[in-house]
Amino acid sequence: MIFEKNEINKWKIELEIMNSNSSYNLLSKNKKTISFKDINSEFEESKKLNTTRLLIKKSEKYIGLVDYCIENPTDNTPWISLFVIHKQFQGSGNSLEAFRHLENIIRLEEKKSLRLAVHKENEKGLMFWTKLGFKKFKEVILEGKPHYCLEKDL
């Protein structure tokens, strides 16, 4: 498994991954499928927030994507802002393998913890992250929707 820089010219790959997860799109964007406009908006936001956007590749296939920042300006802590595995590649250990790879990258930066926010209604996501050792530390409203903020010591 490798991570590859995700750039706007690879938008079709990201669109395919995101639209394979219609339930997540519905939860996060209030629609089952997203468009180039949505992807472009994410890229613009990523530039403002200085996040790293990566595609997850395994056996020459793009299986997911991850966005993270190594030092969030509000708390100086690394945050995962997006972690999505293509529906076709879920359920076979790819999510865990990709997360472990990301976790190692962040450890190499000598960071002591990692944070992320999960939609409160995303039970599957919440279960995944808590199994990996993340714990809730607060509840917030982001873009009008309740989220749990989770943290894991590294």
CA-CA distance, 5 to 108, in Å (whole number)? 18
Q: Is residue 140 scored above 90 in pLDDT?
A: yes
Neighbours of 135 (CB within 10 A): 12
Q: Which residues pair with 114 in a beta bridge?
A: 152
Q: How would you list the strands of the sheet with 135-142, edge to edge?
A: 2-5, 52-58, 61-69, 79-85, 113-119, 145-153, 135-142
Q: pLDDT (tens digit, 9 = 90+) per residue, 70-84? A: 999 889 999 999 999
Cα gap 143→36, rounded to integer Å? 20
Sequence ranges of the domains in the chain: 2-153
Q: How confident is the model at residue 143 (pLDDT cuts 50, 70, 90)?
A: confident
In DSSP terms, 65 is beta-bridged to 55, 84
Q: What is the pLDDT of residues 8-49, one digit of tens each?
A: 999 999 999 999 999 999 999 999 999 999 999 999 999 988
Q: How far apart are CA 66 and CA 82, in angstroms?
A: 5
2-153 folds as Aminopeptidase (3.40.630)
With a CB cutoff of 8 Å and minimum separation 6, the contacts of 77 are 71, 111, 113, 114, 115, 151
Long-range contacts, stretch 8-17, CB < 8 angstroms, 24+ apart = 8/39, 8/40, 8/43, 10/55, 11/36, 11/39, 11/40, 11/43, 13/55, 13/62, 14/39, 14/55, 14/65, 15/39, 16/62, 16/86, 17/62, 17/63, 17/64, 17/65, 17/84, 17/85, 17/86
